[in-house]
Amino acid sequence: MKEPAVVLKKNKEKAVRQRHHWIFSGAIKSLPDFNDGDILAVRTSQGEFLGRGYFSRRSSIIGRMLTFDDTPPLKALDERLDASLYLRRELIRETDAYRLVNAEGDGIPGLIVDRYDDVLVVQITTLGMERLKSTVLSLLIKKLSPRSIYEKSILPARREEGLPDFEGLLYGEPVEAVEIQECGLRFLVEIPGSQKTGFFLDLRPMRRLVRSLSEGRRVLNCFCYTGSFTVAALAGGARATDSVDISERAVGLARKNVALNGFESKEQTFHVADVFEFLRRDLEPYDLIILDPPAFAKKKADVLRAGRGYKDINRLALLKIRPSGLLLTFSCSHFISQDLFQQIIFQAAAEARKGVRILQRHRLAFDHPLNIYHPESEYLKSLLLYVD
């Protein structure tokens, strides 16, 4: 009996042939009878087999490809997990905390797995991957023997597919917090109730950059969260640091991480405050400011408002930097492109009447690979700026 298949419209197979994981509803010619989340074969309008993916009518991205050949999907999932683990074992040396699976970046759409020593935290963003959760758990337990696997799937993408948010223990013993090490520094990662999966693993190369730039500088860490940039700056010889976050819990954790690394004797101050309001205060100028705000644009309709927010906060920061100072500024908004982000910084510099030069663009972390066939996965961008 012929396998049930999704049939694409004429001339709509190019993206799949080029190994792009997403299939949009407008590319579909016909669908078989199926339940949302089922894995189905994909064929061209002429009947040529292209691979298999999981499908959900609830999303405009109706299908996500799991294979681009005839490999059985569960076998492909097993092989891609092995390939993901191999990449990290080969390239990640300086830490026991890193991303093990980066969704489409590792050829496994809908799945994020982060490792904090012997604790794994997973995020499942799609109905199709939700249906595969038990298989994923079995593979992770078999390959890694973790002490604990915790799920933190609190994401808008789930709601688009009719999935409720979920957070809870999936396997092993409950773990409230775990200590990790990165480049000789120690960090406490809280598991339940924290942002994302607990720690911004994608910023590891930028923490190394901050550490290399901080000697003798007065540093301001805005949106400090767990204080990782503050710790990096102090480790690099910063003469003073200020750390600001609107969350009292985050600031408390930042204090713990500074103390954990033995930097209590250094000049450092913590502020529970709105960063926009803090930057409007009468402040002594800084030598280095780090701006790592949350995503201002969570959907495409937010771009205009988000652009104003990014411009305003970067303008305020530029006004607080002494001549020959540095600004490391980020955007993690998927809908703000690199080109648009640079244009926003141009506008902020012009309004601040500051001479600004770009010294460096973002350094991608090795454990956050970007699939060259799937550029939509790129979300994080940054600029290191020299302020004349």
3-state secondary structure 64-87: EEEECCCCCHHHHHHHHHHHHHHH
Which are the catalytic amino acids? 332
Strands 381-387 and 356-361: antiparallel
CA distances 243 to 115, 249, 274, 280, Å, are 26, 13, 11, 15
- Residues for the chain: how many in total? 388
Distance from C-alpha of 69 to C-alpha of 234, rounded to nearest angstrom: 50
The DSSP output letter for 95 is B
Residues whose CB falls within 8 Å of the CB of residue 337, separated by 6 or more in sequence, listed in order: 381
Q: Which two tokens stand for residue 289?
A: 């400011």
Amino acid at 97: A
Distance from C-alpha of 267 to C-alpha of 284, rounded to nearest angstrom: 15
Distance from C-alpha of 22 to C-alpha of 109, rounded to nearest angstrom: 9
